[in-house]
């Protein structure tokens, strides 16, 4: 059993690394951003409620996010452990996660904190593109799709997420500083925090992630 939290600002590369790590070690990848976007796409009540917050670059309410996480932990897919990506994002979520894991006789093993400077974050987020079908990630400069706006993997259309527009990006970074960054100290005080240099190639960062986890 391995339960990890990937913490860091939007654009730090948590999603890419979480997906890779989870596939390699065959544990579940739980991204609240992906779960919320799915809920928005299928038009559920929860999705409609979350969309208002997401469009403004604000955080969705804690209760709503916790309901999604509970569902994930009930199923069998996360029984070998999970990488929590983009969650928790508030102190209330962090406390609720510890409590929930305890009920399942689990606990967080490690929190990887991805460090990237703020100019680089803005560059990554504003150039980020995503496949609307399969979720594959691209960047207009460093990793563009090979065939115009078609996804290399599934041929779906590659688009810019609504909340990667510049004005929303600014608000997401501010929300991170105010509500999520305090979790750095919260987890440091529990000796769970491991900083990871989030700059470099995807492969370089992936190697640092594996090293940080295996040192544990
Ligand atoms: P992400 O893909 O992780 O950047 O998330 C996209 C958006 O979904 C965020 O800007 C929030 O509006 C919402 N969101 C994702 N995860 C959370 C969370 N743990 N708590 C609250 N809102 C979230």
Q: What's the whole-number mean pLDDT along residues 8-25?
A: 95
Instruction: Report the pLDDT averaged over residues 191-215.
Output: 96
pLDDT of residue 79: 83
Tell me, what's the pLDDT at 82?
96
Residue nearest to atom 19 of ligand 1 (CA): 87
Pairing of strands 128-131, 137-139: antiparallel
Atom 3, ligand 1: which residue's CA is nearest? 33
Q: Using an 8 Å Cβ cutoff, are 114 and 7 in contact?
A: yes
Say how far apart CA 59 and CA 53 lie, in whole Å.
6
Measured in Å, residue 179 CA sits from the centre of ligand 1 at 12
**Residue 74 pLDDT:** 87
> Using CA atoms, how far apart are residues 145 and 63, in angstroms rounded to an integer?
37
Which residues on neighbouring strands pair with residue 4, listed in sequence order?
83, 110
* Position 65 pLDDT exceeds 80: yes
Strand segments (E) across 98-143: 110-115, 128-131, 137-139
Give residue 15's pLDDT band: very low, low, confident or very high (50, 70, 90): very high
The answer to whether residue 76 scores a pLDDT higher than 80 is no
CA 51 – ligand 1 centroid, Å = 10
Alpha carbon distance 137, 158 (integer Å)? 9
Per-residue pLDDT, 29 = 96
Expressed in angstroms and rounded, the spacing between residue 105 Cα and the centre of ligand 1 is 26
pLDDT(77) > 90 = no
Give catalytic residues, as residue numbers. Answer: 14, 89, 128, 161, 172
What's the DSSP call for residue 56? H
Find the mean pLDDT for residues 53-66.
Answer: 94
Q: Is there an atom of ligand 1 within 6 Å of 32 CB? A: yes
pLDDT score of 75 = 78
Sign, Cα dihedral of 52, 22, 147, 140: positive
pLDDT in tens, 88-141: 999 999 999 999 999 999 999 999 999 999 889 988 898 999 999 998 989 999
Please state, in angstroms and rounded to a whole number, the distance separating the CA atoms of residues 130 and 159: 5
d(CA 145, CA 131): 9
Residue 18 near residue 6, CB atoms below 8 Å = yes
What is the per-residue pLDDT for 197?
A: 97
For residue 14 and ligand 1, the question of a CB distance below 6 A is answered with no
87 lines ligand 1 (CB under 6 A): yes
Q: Does residue 89 line the site of ligand 1, with CB under 6 A?
A: yes
pLDDT band for position 157 (50/70/90)? very high
CA of 52 to the centre of ligand 1 (A): 12
What tens digit of pLDDT does each residue of 161-199 get? 888 988 888 899 999 999 999 999 999 999 999 999 999
Ligand 1 pocket, residue 164 CB under 6 Å = no
Verify whether ligand 1 is closer than 6 Å to residue 121 (CB atom).
Answer: no
> pTM value?
0.91
């Amino acid at each position: 059993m391995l339960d990890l939290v990937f913490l860091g600002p939007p654009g730090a590369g948590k999603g890419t690394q979480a997906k890779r790590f989870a596939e390699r070690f065959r544990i579940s990848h739980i991204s609240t951003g992906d779960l919320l976007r799915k809920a928005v796409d299928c038009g559920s009540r929860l999705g409609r409620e979350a969309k208002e917050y997401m469009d403004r670059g604000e955080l969705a309410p804690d209760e709503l996010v916790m309901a999604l996480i509970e569902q994930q932990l009930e199923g069998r897919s996360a029984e070998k452990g999970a990488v929590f990506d983009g969650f928790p994002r508030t102190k209330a979520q962090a406390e609720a996660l510890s409590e929930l894991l305890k009920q399942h006789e689990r606990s967080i093993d490690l929190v990887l904190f991805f460090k990237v400077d703020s100019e680089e974050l803005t560059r990554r987020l504003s150039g980020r593109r995503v496949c609307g079908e399969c979720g594959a990630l691209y960047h207009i400069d460093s990793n563009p799709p090979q065939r115009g706006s078609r996804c290399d993997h599934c041929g779906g259309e590659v688009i810019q997420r609504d909340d990667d527009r510049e004005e929303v990006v600014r608000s997401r970074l501010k929300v991170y500083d105010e509500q999520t960054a305090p979790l750095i100290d919260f987890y440091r005080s529990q000796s769970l925090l491991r900083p990871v240099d989030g700059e470099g190639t995807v492969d370089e960062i992936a190697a640092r992630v594996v090293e940080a986890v295996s040192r544990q």
